[in-house]
Amino acid sequence: MNFEAKHPSVGVIHSLTRAAIGFLFLCHGAASLFGVMGGAAGTHGGTVPFGVWPSWWAAVIQLVCGALVMLGAGTRWAALIASGSMAYAYFTVHQAHGVFPIENNGEAAALYAWIFLMLVVIGPGPWTATRILGLKRRTPAA
C-alpha cells in the first residue's frame, strides 16, 4: 500500500512544504528583480541590473521556478532547474570561501539545491494547482 494513502497527513505536509519552499524561493527572485522585501542581497534595497550574468538570470529562475513549485505546476522540471541553479551558486560563489556551508554562507544555496532535488524525485504531492483546477493530464488506462 502507498505510504501517503495509509497516512494522508503525509501528503498534506508534503504539499504544504513544497508550496512554502516555492514561495520562499520566489521571494528571493522578487527581491532581486523588483527591489521588494529589502531588495537584492548586497544592493541595500536595490535591484539586479537587467541581463547581468549570472545574478539577473538567477533571479528570473528564482521567481519563475519558485512560482511553479509553489503552485505545483511543472514541479519536477522547475525543481530540476532551481536545484541546478542553486548548486551552481554554491560552487561558484560560496565554495571559494570555505569547505562547509556554515563557514562560507552557503547554507541557503545548499538546502535549496537538495530540497529541489528531492522534489524532482518525489514530485509535488497531492495538493497542486493543476489538480485543484482539473488541469492535470490523465494517464491512459493500462
Do the domain assignments include residue 140? Answer: no
User: In this model, does residue 105 exceed pLDDT 70?
Assistant: yes
User: Could you tell me which residue, 3 or 90, shows the higher pLDDT?
Assistant: 90
Q: How many domains does the chain have?
A: 1
For residue range 70-97, list pLDDT tens digits in order: 999 999 999 999 999 999 999 999 989 9
Residue 100 falls within a domain, yes or no? yes
Q: pLDDT category, 35, cuts 50, 70, 90? A: confident
Q: Is residue 142 part of a domain?
A: no
pLDDT at 142 over 50: no
Instruction: Determine, yes or no, domain membership for 112.
Output: yes
Q: For residue 106, give its domain range.
A: 7-132
In a domain, residue 137? The reply is: no
Helices 55-71 and 8-34 pack at an angle, to 10 degrees, of 150
Share of residues in the chain with pLDDT > 70 (%): 89
| Inside any domain, residue 22 | yes
Q: Is the pLDDT of residue 31 over 80?
A: yes
Residue 41: closest CA among 25, 26, 23, 29: 29
Question: What per-residue confidence (pLDDT) applies to 74?
Answer: 94
Instruction: Flag whether 138 is in a domain.
Output: no
Model confidence at 130, pLDDT cuts 50, 70, 90, reads: confident
- The pLDDT-based confidence of 9 (bands split at 50, 70, 90) is confident
- Does the residue 94 lie in any domain? yes
Q: Which residues contact 4 (CB under 8 A, 6 or more apart)?
A: 10, 11, 14, 126
Q: Residue 18 and residue 112: Cα distance in Å, rounded?
A: 11
